[in-house]
Structure 1
Amino acid sequence: MSQPRPTDPLGEIYAEWTVEFEANPEMSLQLMRWVFEDWQRATSEPEGVTYASTSVGGVPGILVTPLDADPAQMMVVMHGGGFALGSSASHRKLAGHLAKACGAHAFVVDFRLAPEFPFPAQIEDGLAVYDALLAGGIAPADVSFVGDSAGGNLAIAMVLTLRRDGKPLPGGVLTMSPWLNMENTGATIETNDATDFLITREGLAGNISRYLSGGASPTDPYVNPLYAEYDGFPRLYVCAADTESLFEDSERLVELATKADVDVTFSVGHGMQHVFPFQAGRLARADDEIAAMAAWYRAGR
Structure 2
Amino acid sequence: MIDRRGVLRQAGLVAATGLAGGLAGGLGMGRALAAPVDPLAGVDPQLRAGAQIVLAMGAKLSPLTTARLPILREGGAAMAGPLRADVPVEERKVPVGPGIPDVTVYVINAGKRPGGGPRPAILHTHGGGFVAGTAKAERGYLQDFAHALDCVIVTVEYTLAPEARFTRSLDETYASLRWLHDQAEALGVDRARLAVMGESAGGGHAALLAIRARDRGEVPLVLQALTYPMLDDRTGSTVTPPPGVGHLGWDTQANRFGWASFLGAEPGSRQVPAAGVPARCARLGGLAPAFIAVGGIDLFVDEDITYARRLTDAGVPTELLVVPGAYHGFDRVVPDAAPSRHLIESRLAALRRAFAQG
Coarse TM-score class (shorter-chain normalised) = 0.7 to 0.9
CA contact (8 A) 1:176 1:275 kept: no
Structure 2 residue aligned with 1:96, among 143, 146, 149? 143
TM-score, normalised to structure 1, is 0.86
Partner of 1:233: 287
Question: How far is 1:35 from its partner?
Answer: 3.3
Map of 2:133 onto structure 1 = 86
Cα distance in 1 for partners of 2:226, 2:139 equals: 16
Q: Which moved more, 1:128-137 or 1:282-291?
A: 282-291
Decide whether aligned partners of structure 1 residues 277 and 101 sit closer, same or farther in structure 2, where only a CA change above 3 A counts: farther
Cα distance in structure 2, aligned partners of 1:179 and 1:239: 11
Match of 1:20 in 2: 60
Matched with 1:177 is: 228
Give, in angstroms, the shift of residue 281 of structure 1: 5.1
C-alpha root-mean-square deviation of aligned residues, in Å?
3.0
Offset, 1:81:
0.6
Work out whether 1:222 is the aligned partner of 2:262. no
Name which of structure 1's ranges 13-22 and 283-292 shifts more when overlaid on structure 2. Answer: 283-292
Aligned counterpart for 1:126 among listed residues 145, 149, 173: 173
Confirm or deny: 8 A CA contact 1:66 1:96 kept in the other structure.
Answer: no
Distance 1:261 1:244 in 2: 26
Instruction: Say if 1:80 and 1:151, in contact at 8 Å, map to a contact too.
Output: yes
Specify the alignment match of 2:38 in structure 1: 2
CA contact under 8 A between 1:231 and 1:262: conserved in structure 2? Answer: yes
Shift of 1:206: 1.2
More off after superposition, 162-171 vs 147-156: 162-171
Corresponding position of 2:210: 159
Question: Deviation digits for residues 252-286 of structure 1, max 9, x if unmatched?
Answer: 11111010111101112221221333257533432
Which amino acid in 1 is paired with 2:229? P
Q: How many residues are matched?
A: 297
Q: Percent identity?
A: 17
Q: Secondary structure at the match of 1:52?
A: strand
Per-residue deviation, 1:152: 1.0
Deviations along 1:148-174, one digit per CA (max 9) or x if unpaired, are: 111111111112122223333322100
TM-score between the two structures when normalised by the length of structure 2:
0.73
- Provide structure 1 residue ranges, at least 5 long, that are not aligned to the other structure: none
Q: Find out whether 1:65 has 2:65 as its counterpart.
A: no
CA deviations on 1:193-224 (whole Å, 9 max, x unpaired) are 4xx32212111111112111279966544222
Which residue of the other structure, out of 241, 262, 274, is the alignment partner of 1:188? 241
Does residue 260 of the first structure (1) align with residue 314 of the second (2)? yes
Structure 1 equivalent of residue 262 of structure 2: 211
Report deviation, 1:15.
1.5
Runs of 4+ more than 6 Å apart = 23-26, 44-47, 214-218
